[in-house]
Amino acid sequence: MKNAWNAQGRIDMDERITPRRFAAGLPGDIPRHWLPGNEFVSSLLNAYTILVPANEAFYIRTLNACLPHVRDETLLGRCQDFIRQEAQHGVAHKRYWDNLDAQGYAYRGFERMVDRWVFRVMDRFAPLWFRASLVSCVEHINAFLGYEFLSQSILASADPRMRDLMEWHFAEEIEHRAVAFDLLQAVSPRYPVRLLGAITTSTLFYLLMTGLTTALLAQDRRLWRKATWRQAAWHLGTGHGMARRTLQHLLDYLRPGFHPFRLPGADALAAGVLTRQASRQPPAVVAMGTRT
């Protein structure tokens, strides 16, 4: 991916997004807490995995609804590649659900409720400009989560199979981080639209993640253990600093001159992950080809 800022402060894009398939296996012997010594982050990312398919399906439906309004051929092609990437994310994460089922977690009712009463309600009643704004903000959240997890090597000691899944997903979120934002600028570039979408998305995202992570920890009987709270404090506060960093990234999104490409070192970080995974024998990810 190559990009540069021109004299007018706009981005000149020479990027190609490559749709990939996650080819690595996800056998049933993956442990419940696949990040050793950190049940909190394991449960947090399990919650993320559960929410991914319905989220990604909502993104795809929203972008497909927006495509007839896109006049720029380059943006149109990027949106199509984005859709192909997001479809594969949903497929790969859903494969891991078999492990969660075998481990006895109860989550499918919650997932169906979220899909029905959040995403399907948005599809039916929310105007397209609002849905596009929601997707733009949540894609910013996905990208900065990927950036923080990869740049801080948070998953270095994770079970290799889950590390591959999460790092592939995070790398692709970084790779396509500007697509939904650029689409929003084409559909409805007004700042109040971005602001309303950011408030709604960040509230929903963190409420759902908190609720589901809490439920998973409760099912493991680890919710009220001191060790779990120490892990949460380390991840959110003194260690990974995710609470402070999250606030900084969200405030950055609200700057009038914001653009997702301004994330230092992100492209090299994502490219390193994707190149490493593709070069393995057998590869963990397989390129599906680009649009013609």
DSSP letter string over 198-231? HHHHHHHHHHHHHHHHHHHHHHTT-TT-HHHHHH
In the 8-state DSSP scheme, what is residue 69?
G
pLDDT level of residue 68 (50, 70, 90 thresholds): very high
Average pLDDT value over all residues in the chain: 93
CA-wise closest residue to 183 among 74, 258, 75: 75
Determine the Cα–Cα distance for residues 106 and 1; give it in Å rounded to an integer: 41
- Strand, helix or coil at 194? helix
- CA atoms of 267 and 15, how far apart (whole Å): 11
pLDDT band at 289 (very low <50, low <70, confident <90, very high): low
Q: Which of 5-9, 133-137, 144-148, 218-222 has the lowest mean pLDDT?
A: 5-9
Report whether 276 contacts 2 (CB < 8 A).
no
Q: How distant, in Å, are the alpha carbons of 70, 140, 179, 207, 256 from that of 251?
A: 28, 11, 19, 18, 10
Mean pLDDT, rounded, for 226-237: 98
Q: What is the pLDDT of residue 172?
A: 98
Whether pLDDT at 201 is above 60: yes
Q: Residue 15: which pLDDT band, with cuts at 50, 70 and 90? A: low
pLDDT surpasses 50 at 81: yes
pLDDT grade, residue 18 (50/70/90)?
very high
Q: What mean pLDDT do residues 2-24 have?
A: 62
Element spanning 236, H or E? none
**Which residues, 6 or more positions from 268, have their beta carbon under 8 angstroms from its beta carbon?**
none
The model's confidence at residue 6, banded by pLDDT at 50, 70 and 90, is very low
Q: What percent of the chain has pLDDT over 70?
A: 93
Is 260 strand, coil or helix?
coil
Q: Which residue has the tokens 């908190």?
A: 210
- pLDDT of 261 above 60: yes
Asked if pLDDT for residue 39 goes beyond 90, the answer is yes
Banded model confidence at residue 281, pLDDT cuts 50, 70, 90? very high
C-alpha distances (whole Å) from 188 to each of 54, 118, 178, 191, 211 are 24, 22, 15, 9, 32
Confidence band for 132, pLDDT divided at 50, 70 and 90: very high
pLDDT above 60 for 14: no
Contact assessment for residue 64 and residue 90, using Cβ atoms and an 8 Å cutoff:
no
Only one residue has tokens 């990009």, namely: 3
Higher pLDDT, 14 or 148: 148
Report d(CA 204, CA 115) in Å as an integer. Answer: 12
> What pLDDT is attached to residue 10?
40
- Mean pLDDT value across residues 2-31: 69
At residue 3, the pLDDT reads: 44
Show me where the domains of the chain are located: 35-286
Note the pLDDT of residue 36: 96
Per-residue pLDDT band for 243 (boundaries 50, 70, 90) equals: very high
Examine the pLDDT at 80 and tell me if it is beyond 70: yes
Q: In Å, how far from its chain's centre is CA 104?
A: 25
Token reading at 21: 């398939």
Contacts 24+ apart (CB under 8 A), 144-147: 144/245, 144/246, 144/249, 144/263, 145/170, 145/173, 146/170, 146/171, 146/173, 146/174, 146/270, 147/174, 147/263, 147/266, 147/269
- Cα–Cα distance between 1 and 271 in angstroms, integer? 9
